[in-house]
């Protein structure tokens, strides 16, 4: 009877030791996972700061360039989007670029491309987008067609024989595209009210290669 009791005690002690060892292994694995996750977050935080830094540099360069140009240009200081009224380029309900618009683009494009596609930034740029936007008059599809036609007209004119050559002409073809947005992204006035005049516009935007990845990371971190 003593022998059986001793064996039973030893059995339970061995089981307890096994559980303790398993808990230690689990704690060690958990620590490693936390450290790896922290290292990943720190790495992604560094990437975010680098992307923000590059975007800030580009926006600063664009702002400095066009502030001294006296051109009718609005620069979004958060995104770097450059906006100018559609009336500069087009007559009402038309996608044919006016003579005033052609003169405007001849001044704007070499400066814009010269900044974005300089050696400092060109490897960071993913795409350059020309966007057409309308006000809310008319149907969505009518305005989609009009906004797309206007964006394409700008693109076609930039690479036409009538447009003066500029240094980044061939290189820019790797980046640039044109889209119509109809009235899906209206703008407001200083009071926060819908502004049809500001909404009728053409925008030039740029995307950085890391933008989409950073957005996904930020979404995961903030959940």
What CATH number does residue 121 fall under?
A: 3.30.1330.60
Average pLDDT over every residue of 69-73: 83
Pair 66, 101 in one domain: yes
Pair 16, 98 in one domain: no
Q: Does pLDDT of 213 surpass 90?
A: no
Q: Counting beta carbons within 10 angstroms of the beta carbon of residue 46, is it exposed (0 to 12), middle (13 to 18) or buried (19 or more)? A: exposed
For residue 128, CA distances in Å to 77, 211, 220 come to: 17, 13, 27
- Spatial distance between the Cα atoms of 132 and 146, rounded to a whole number of angstroms: 8
Q: What are phi and psi of 194, to 5 degrees?
A: -55, 130
- Spatial distance between the Cα atoms of 141 and 136, rounded to a whole number of angstroms: 11
Pair 67, 171 in one domain: yes
Average pLDDT over every residue of 30-55: 66
**Please, which residues bridge with residue 26 across strands?**
none
pLDDT tens-digit map of 132-170:
999 999 999 999 999 999 999 999 999 999 999 999 999
Degrees, nearest 5: CA angle 81-105-148: 65
Pair 183, 120 in one domain: yes
Average pLDDT over every residue of 120-128: 93
Pair 186, 105 in one domain: yes
- Residue 32: domain span: 2-45
pTM above threshold 0.75: no
Pair 39, 115 in one domain: no
Domain count within the chain: 2
Cβ atoms of residues 149 and 221 within 8 Å: no
Pair 13, 86 in one domain: no
Of 36-40, 101-105, 110-114, 165-169, which gets the smallest average pLDDT?
36-40
Pair 206, 110 in one domain: yes
Pair 113, 163 in one domain: yes
Pair 120, 40 in one domain: no
Pair 108, 189 in one domain: yes
Q: What are phi and psi of 180, to 5 degrees?
A: -105, 140
- Spatial distance between the Cα atoms of 25 and 199, rounded to a whole number of angstroms: 61
Pair 144, 62 in one domain: yes
- Spatial distance between the Cα atoms of 125 and 128, rounded to a whole number of angstroms: 8
Average pLDDT over every residue of 61-84: 89
């Amino acid at each position: 009877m003593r022998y059986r009791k001793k064996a039973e005690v030893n059995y339970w002690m061995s089981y307890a030791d096994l559980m303790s060892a398993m808990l230690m292994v689990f704690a060690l694995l958990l620590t490693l996972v936390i450290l790896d996750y922290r290292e990943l977050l720190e790495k992604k935080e560094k990437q975010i700061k680098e992307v923000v830094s590059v975007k800030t540099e580009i926006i600063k360069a664009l702002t400095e360039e066009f502030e001294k140009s006296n051109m009718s240009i609005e620069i979004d200081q958060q995104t770097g989007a450059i906006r100018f009224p559609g009336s500069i380029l087009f007559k009402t309900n038309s996608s044919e670029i006016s003579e005033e618009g052609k003169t405007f683009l001849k001044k704007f494009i070499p400066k814009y491309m010269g900044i974005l596609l300089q050696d400092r930034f060109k490897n960071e740029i993913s795409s350059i987008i020309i966007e057409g936007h309308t006000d809310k008059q008319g149907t969505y599809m009518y305005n989609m067609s009009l906004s797309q036609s206007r964006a394409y007209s700008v693109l076609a004119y930039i690479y036409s024989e009538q447009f003066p050559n500029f240094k980044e002409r061939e290189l820019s073809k790797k980046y640039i595209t044109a889209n119509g947005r109809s009235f899906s992204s209206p703008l407001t006035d200083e009071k926060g009210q819908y502004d049809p005049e500001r909404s009728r516009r053409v925008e030039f935007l740029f995307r950085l290669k890391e933008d989409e990845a950073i957005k996904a990371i930020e979404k995961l971190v903030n959940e």
